[in-house]
Structure 1
Amino acid sequence: MFEILTVCTGNICRSPLAEILLRARLADLAPRVASAGTRGLASAPMTPEAAHLALALGAPEAETLAHRSRFLTEQHLESPDLILAMTRDHRRAIVGLAPSRLRSTFTVREFARLASAVSADELRRAADAAGPEPAARIRAASQFLAASRGLVPTPQDPADDDVVDPYGQPWETYLVSTSQLEPAVSTTASTLRLVLS
């Protein structure tokens, strides 16, 4: 078993969409995936737009209906093997709460970018060194990717590591946000499958 946490601001758009998509795309591996917000609302549902996009991307309707937002606390950061923030600001907030989690915390687009820049063999070797336990393999691969931050070219525009916040914005902004999030989630899921193979 392994654990992933996704984090955004209100925990009603981006992070629950990432949570639900990761859970669906890794379902056969039985991950524990949760989400939270740095300024999370109290038990609010997903926005209708985010829920609609989740369904359009193949998520179970029951999961979109069941989601309730929560405020990120230090306790939420203790057990996840991988923490995926939606923006660099969220990543800074996470590391501010739990500095020891720096090497397990990425923006989701950063994780996908770094994973795409290293070889599958390198990732597998990093995971293999940690043994057969899924959580340990994911932590080892995450630490390997964190160590490559200074070696892999950074985006020309640092905002390319962020997923834009669609909350309170027109439908078109939800589409832009999802067009940034969904490919990163897909790459993340593929990377985790590679690490666990």
Structure 2
Amino acid sequence: MELMTVCTGNICRSPLAQLILATRLRDLGASVHSAGVRGLPAAVMTPEAIDLALESGVSEADADAHRSRYLTEAMLSAPDLILAMTRDHRRELAELAPARLRSTFTVREFARLAASLDDTTIASSAAAAGSDPSARLRAAAAAVAGQRGLAIPPADPADDDVIDPYRREWSVYQRSAQQLLPALDQVERVVRLAAA
């Protein structure tokens, strides 16, 4: 099972999501990566993003080891689930790899759509794909994607985005985390149901 998280510079939101998911899903052997659509080469996470990662149970060694990467088309073929931080990032992903659209979401969109499905529906979608973990996660993601146009959309489309805290005050980092963390709970739920 492979997941990819994507933001702009790959130093705040996407590495935070990557590290939290990698920590939470370690027992499943899931592989989680991140990159930025305008990523800086080999930059460290911002100190604030590291603080949020540590608060969320990520080890200091894992947080310190992160180096940013620039997103390339080749990176998008392997992940079973691709999670963008904003609708603009999702659009850029769709332009880079249109064939991956059913596996590509903003993280909050994914959470909103997944919340409209019960555990049994997700698990049975995964089971229909057989025993391969990657195929199972892709099938679960396809079931979530099938809720597009069926689930109630957010009142404000921006509610599917995670705010960018870069170069902003700590309160913005906290608000960004408050948007991201509940969404990651739903990602973890779907991945675990797919793996079961």
The bucket for the TM-score relative to the shorter chain is over 0.9
Partner of 1:194: 193
AA at the equivalent of 2:189: S
Query: 1:40-189 alignment to 2 at 5 Å?
Result: 40-189=39-188
How many residue pairs were aligned? Answer: 196
3-state DSSP of counterpart to 2:88: helix
The percentage of aligned residue pairs carrying the same residue is 57
What is the alpha-carbon distance in structure 1 between the residues aligned to residue 48 and residue 107 of structure 2? 20
- What is the one-letter code of the residue matched to 2:183? A
Query: Unaligned stretches of 5+ in structure 1?
Result: none
SS of the residue 2:3 aligns to = strand
Please say if 1:26 is aligned against 2:25: yes
| Structure-2 separation of matches of 1:86 and 1:139 | 19
CA distance in 2, matches of 1:174, 1:4: 23
Quote the Cα distance in structure 2 between the aligned partners of 1:59 and 1:120.
27
- Which segment drifts farther, 39-48 or 117-126? 117-126
List 4+ stretches of structure 1 deviating above 2 A.
none
Distance 1:57 1:151 in 2: 32
After TM superposition, the score normalised by the length of structure 2 is 0.98
Counterpart of 2:39 in 1: which secondary structure? Answer: coil
Shift of 1:151: 0.7
Stretch moving more, 55-64 or 5-14: 55-64
Using structure 1 for the length normalisation, give the TM-score. Answer: 0.98
SS of the aligned residue for 1:169 comes to coil
Matched residues in 2 for 1:129 and 1:186: separation?
Answer: 24
> What SS does structure 2 have at the residue aligned with 1:75?
helix
- Deviation of 1:120 (Å): 1.3
CA distance in 2, matches of 1:184, 1:119: 16
Q: Is the CA contact (8 Å cut-off) linking 2:3 and 2:30 kept in structure 1?
A: yes
2:28·2:195 contact (CA, 8 Å) conserved in 1?
no
The structural deviation recorded for 1:119 is 1.6
SS at match of 1:150: coil
Consecutive unaligned residues in structure 2, runs of 5 or more: none
